[in-house]
Amino acid sequence: MQRVGIVSQVRMGSTRLPAKVLLPAAGRPLLDYHVARLRQSGLPVLLATTTEPADDVLAAYAATHHLPCHRGSETDVLGRYYETAQRFGLDVVVRVTSDCPLVDGPLIGAAVRRYLAEGNPLAYRSNTFIRTLPRGLDFEVFSVQMLAEAHANASLPYEREHVTPYLRTNPATAGRVVHRNEAWSGGDFSRFRITLDTTEDYQVLRALIEQHRAADLGVADLLALLEAHPEIMALNAHVEQKTS
């Protein structure tokens, strides 16, 4: 049986919003919601943080919350993922980022079941090839076999920092890696933004969690909530996603 783990990359450093994952909402750090919602997938959740002293607090958080944790390079995030997978004996990795406090565990669990049923180590599932869900519900599923290839061969700084460009666009994988888009069948909600990168993003997430209990909602009810409150979603509608 293949061992699957959700690996969330997390660090305190952020050029736009430092220490963002520990910002509070309804009296709890946003990282609490991220972890709790991932655990709804039924899969193990692991943290991949850095060796920087500022991230000691995240290693301590992992210990307190019984989360396996690996500390690696701040800039070589691909290497950090590979080391995490090797250390904890994973065969399949689900990649998420910790700036997604409303990420949906059951959505991820269903995608992993489809991945395992396909039985192809060259398959790569993600809901970001063609977006139909808000930014902030992103996930990627791929084999450690492919992660190891990327780690061994990816040489561009962008490929090392963003983990999966080698699997997505590098000519070396063209025609071999099978991309499977995880589209939401209920419509296109890609215009919404519920990730955490700016002060405006924090305002949105805090309003959703504190005023509307968004952290308790499944994905369908969460999407309905976003549509029902354009006044909240307008707060960060102008924010452009950082790409480097």
Residue 158: predicted pLDDT: 96
Q: Model-level pTM? A: 0.96
CB of 150 within 8 A of CB of 159? yes
Residue 244: predicted pLDDT: 45
Q: pLDDT by residue for the chain (244 residues), tens digit each?
A: 899 999 999 999 887 898 999 999 999 999 999 999 999 999 999 999 999 999 999 999 999 999 999 999 999 999 999 999 999 999 999 999 999 999 999 999 999 999 999 999 999 999 999 999 999 999 999 999 999 999 999 999 999 999 999 999 999 999 999 999 999 999 999 999 999 999 999 999 999 999 999 999 999 999 999 999 999 999 999 997 765 4
- The kind and range of the H/E element at 184 are none
Q: Which fold has domain 4-190?
A: Spore Coat Polysaccharide Biosynthesis Protein SpsA; Chain A (3.90.550)
The answer for residues whose C-beta is within 8 angstroms of residue 115's C-beta and 6 or more apart is 92, 123, 125, 141, 180
Residue 16: predicted pLDDT: 83
Residue 241: predicted pLDDT: 72
Report the chain's terminal Cα–Cα distance, integer Å: 37
Closest-CA residue to 207 (of 218, 134, 18, 196):
196
Residue 34: predicted pLDDT: 98
